[in-house]
Amino acid sequence: ALHIRLAQLRVAEGEDKAGAKASIEAALALVPEHPTALGVLAQLASPDEDPRAFADAKLREADSAKDEDVKIAALMAAGDVLQSRVGDSAAAAAAYDRVLQMRPYHAEATWALAGLSEKSGDPEAAQRLLEHKLEDESLTPPEKARILTQLAALSRAAGVTPAAERRLLEALGTVPDHIPAIVALADFYADAERFSDLEAFLKEILDGTMLAAAPAALVADLHRRLAGAQEKLGRDDDAY
């Protein structure tokens, strides 16, 4: 306890990180899994200066913590740094997986692990994770729309176009102004050369006040897409 307190004082009063780390190491030499010491060690490690050391400290903190919230926060911090700074996808996935073992419907761990699965060339694993997340009855409408849009992207990448369209329509049925789903469905109709469907969809979206709070550049782009669809349908005056 005295070594830990000395470390805290060294950081608070003089920004003596090297001395603080030495004090924490002395504490851990006496009690290797002391949760407070591991927590301070993680605070002293910088994800910018030494991301691997930071991640290792967070993993040690998660191993020793008794409180589940503390465990999950430490594992998420470790996973994020391992993925974005260290480039160790396997270790990051292991950290996120540990979170989901404790809380199967943890949103951020689900997104992160699904993203890693997709990047690793395993879209089926990513799809299974997201479909499992859909079973969570506590999902808010925006969270559900986000998952459905991601599932649509995975289905489209796999060439299962009916499922992709169904997922996007379901997402917009959940949150009618969900911008990622709007753009994705417009892309879907354009790529499939279903210009009548694209025109009808964009007219419905652009009429009224649904996109009143949307960025002006997005609304302008949707009008451009509508004009493109009308041109393809041979109605140049409408497109103009």
Interacting residues of 147 by C-beta distance below 8 A, sequence separation 6+: 130, 133, 134, 139
% of the chain residues with pLDDT over 90: 37
pLDDT of residue 193: 95
With 0-12 CB in 10 A as exposed, 13-18 as middle and 19+ as buried, what is 121?
Answer: exposed
% of the chain residues with pLDDT over 70: 98
User: How high does pLDDT run on average in the chain?
Assistant: 87
Distance CA 209, CA 173 (A): 17
Residue 131 confidence (pLDDT) above 80: yes
Q: Give residue-wise pLDDT tens across range 195-229.
A: 999 999 999 999 988 898 888 888 999 999 999 99
Residue 239 confidence (pLDDT) above 90: yes
Q: Give residue-wise pLDDT tens across range 16-50.
A: 778 888 888 898 888 877 877 877 777 777 677 77
Residue 88 · residue 119 · CB < 8 Å: no
Residue 14 confidence (pLDDT) above 70: no
* Region 7-12 average pLDDT: 82
Maximum Cα–Cα distance for the chain, whole Å? 81
Residue 11 · residue 44 · CB < 8 Å: yes
